[in-house]
């Protein structure tokens, strides 16, 4: 839930090594509820590579792409991770 302090939508796609199923979950801040299911989960049979991709729609957009890249830059220190912004590797 802490993610929704800075974003309006969160999408997680993950696939385990050796699996042929990708799990895709989507949560939107406007649909969060304690009393009913509010996170979509889809199982997709495909051939994508194993790993996890997280996509977040930010609440406030930084002034420009350079400011957003500076904000996201520290995430590059996570081993074996790639950080992209608007489709570009930063």
What DSSP string runs through 37-67?
--EEEEEEE--PPSEEEEEEEESS--SSHHH
40 vs 86, more confident: 40
Taking 60 as the threshold, does the pLDDT of residue 33 lie above it? yes
The rounded distance, in Å, linking the Cα atoms of 59 and 5 is: 8
Q: Residues 50-77: pLDDT tens digits? A: 998 888 887 766 567 787 777 777 776 7
Domain ranges of the chain: 2-59, 65-90
User: pTM here?
Assistant: 0.71
The mean pLDDT value of the chain amounts to: 82
Quick one: pLDDT at residue 13? 93
Quick one: pLDDT at residue 15? 95
């Amino acid at each position: 839930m802490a993610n929704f302090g800075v974003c309006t939508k969160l999408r997680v796609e993950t696939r385990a090594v050796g699996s042929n199923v990708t799990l895709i979950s989507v949560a939107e801040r406007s649909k969060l509820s304690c009393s009913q299911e509010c996170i979509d989960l889809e199982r997709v049979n495909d051939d994508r590579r194993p790993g996890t991709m997280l996509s977040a729609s930010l609440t406030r957009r930084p002034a420009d792409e350079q400011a957003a890249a500076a904000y996201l830059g520290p995430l590059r220190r996570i081993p074996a991770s790639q950080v992209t912004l608007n489709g570009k590797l930063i």
